[in-house]
Chain A
């Protein structure tokens, strides 16, 4: 019997301190996220000071817990990986340094992972039998991008936001409506109780033939509406605003899938949890024979398993590993 490959994946690029242990390519033995959302909520956003300090404090405990959970020792690890970008310099450095140290101490290989590629591998973890090519919609607080996955490791960026990310406008409009951070889940809930036909918000870039997004104008239109209509009904604003965001996401994504002749779509990132996005993309996709896949929530949002899965793929199939001199790349792209 061939020996199993154990990979430790560390993700500290933004809000979450997360680790995971993977056996071979898709077998998750431990996947632990220490969410700091509770601490961030009172500031209406991620506070880097708190984020960075907590990554440092929480990480050793999370790694220890992960190893116990997976019933393996440091010396069993073949590979240790961490996100090296994009993200915040301080938190990235915490995760990277920990990974390098553990790799060095346990004799494992070290690999830095692009967070965006990590999101693509969250799809592979959830649906190992769904093979490329497929279209990926990465939609979160920091990113809104369409990428064609020709095969794992080979990507073609198709479109991206020209201003704000979809999750960012959800949080910013949530703040205007007096909601707690992160606001996506609450807007989703309020929208169900509201009437989306109350306000006709703009659908930016919908008429455009390209595959880029723009959400900043919608954010401005919503701010303007709230200012001019101080007696607004929160549920109706949430429903009308969310419908505009989702219309644009669904329309562009399906257009891209048809243009590139892809019949499978992987939706990843925090906004993939949105119920209206799931319903509409599924219903509208069906008309064109296009099937969307939504990984379970714990794989949609930032997590260590997607980092470990990316790393082990590159290690085994692309024969890659990194030198310990690898530095954080805060503005890393595809």
Chain B
């Protein structure tokens, strides 16, 4: 099922994350795709709010993965510097796809070919202009 939303600010992108969080269940995987600066981390911040996580969600590009505790455990992965499933396996992050507990959200999911198969929800954010973004949410099953 495909849903397309145009957002006009980062607050609106964050709001999509909050709404998305309501549909998340234990063991689910969410893929996020979009260029630098389109609002992927902003959307994850929204998911965090929706899951009632009350600490700041920051970019995991360097550490590759961060973990937060709310109504569900949120595993926040970032494949900005990863280019294959083998590399994820090497650092043990493949265990989170899917996670035994909580949900896994993967930024730069397009860097890993297998993510299509592994995701329950795929979100693609495309750049329209400085403020506006097209957010496409594809839900499997």
B is a partner of A: yes
Residues of the B chain whose Cβ atoms lie less than 8 Å from the Cβ of A176: 36
Question: Which DSSP category, helix, strand, loop or mixed, fits chain B's interface?
Answer: loop
| Chain B 40-82 near chain A by CB (<8 Å), digits 1 or 0 | 0110000000000000101101111111000000000000111
Q: Which of A90, A160, A216, A330 contacts B63 (CB 8 A)?
A: A330
- B139 sits at the interface (CB 8 A): no
Contact A168 B59 (CB under 8 A): yes
Residues of the A chain whose Cβ atoms lie less than 8 Å from the Cβ of B41: 163-164, 216
Contact B64 A47 (CB under 8 A): no
- Asked if A223 meets B87 with Cβ closer than 8 Å, knowing A165-B59, A216-B59, A330-B65, the reply is no
Q: Which of B82-141 contact A (CB under 8 A)?
A: 82-84, 86-88, 90-93, 127, 130
Residues of the A chain whose Cβ atoms lie less than 8 Å from the Cβ of B58: 160-165
Contact B59 A47 (CB under 8 A): no
Contact B92 A90 (CB under 8 A): yes
Residues of the A chain whose Cβ atoms lie less than 8 Å from the Cβ of B91: 48-49, 52, 88-91
Count of residues in A whose CB is under 8 Å from the partner chain: 37
Residues of the B chain whose Cβ atoms lie less than 8 Å from the Cβ of A142: 62-63
Count of residues in B whose CB is under 8 Å from the partner chain: 29
Q: Tell me the minimal C-beta distance from A228 to chain B in angstroms.
A: 8
Q: Which of A84-102 contact B (CB under 8 A)?
A: 86-91
Contact A52 B36 (CB under 8 A): no
Residues of the A chain whose Cβ atoms lie less than 8 Å from the Cβ of B35: 223
Residues of the B chain whose Cβ atoms lie less than 8 Å from the Cβ of A90: 90-92
Contact A47 B66 (CB under 8 A): no
Q: Which of A161, A162, A219, A331 contacts B36 (CB 8 A)?
A: A219
A90→B88 CA distance, assembly (Å):
10
Q: Which of A52, A161, A224 contacts B90 (CB 8 A)?
A: A52
Q: Which of B42, B62, B66, B67 contacts A141 (CB 8 A)?
A: B62
A216→B130 CA distance, assembly (Å):
13
- Asked if A223 meets B63 with Cβ closer than 8 Å, knowing A53-B90, A89-B92, A89-B93, the reply is no
| Chain A 36-66 near chain B by CB (<8 Å), digits 1 or 0 | 0000000111111100110000000000000
Contact A160 B56 (CB under 8 A): yes
Residues of the B chain whose Cβ atoms lie less than 8 Å from the Cβ of A219: 36-37
Q: Tell me the minimal C-beta distance from B8 to chain A in angstroms.
A: 15
- Asked if A48 meets B59 with Cβ closer than 8 Å, knowing A89-B93, A216-B41, A330-B65, the reply is no
Contact A168 B36 (CB under 8 A): no
| Chain B 1-39 near chain A by CB (<8 Å), digits 1 or 0 | 000000000000000000000000000000000011100
- Asked if A331 meets B92 with Cβ closer than 8 Å, knowing A45-B80, A162-B56, A163-B58, the reply is no
Chain B residues within CB distance 8 Å of chain A? 35-37, 41-42, 56, 58-59, 61-67, 80-84, 86-88, 90-93, 127, 130
Chain A residues within CB distance 8 Å of chain B? 14, 43-49, 52-53, 86-91, 141-142, 160-165, 167-168, 172, 176, 216, 219-220, 222-224, 227, 330-331
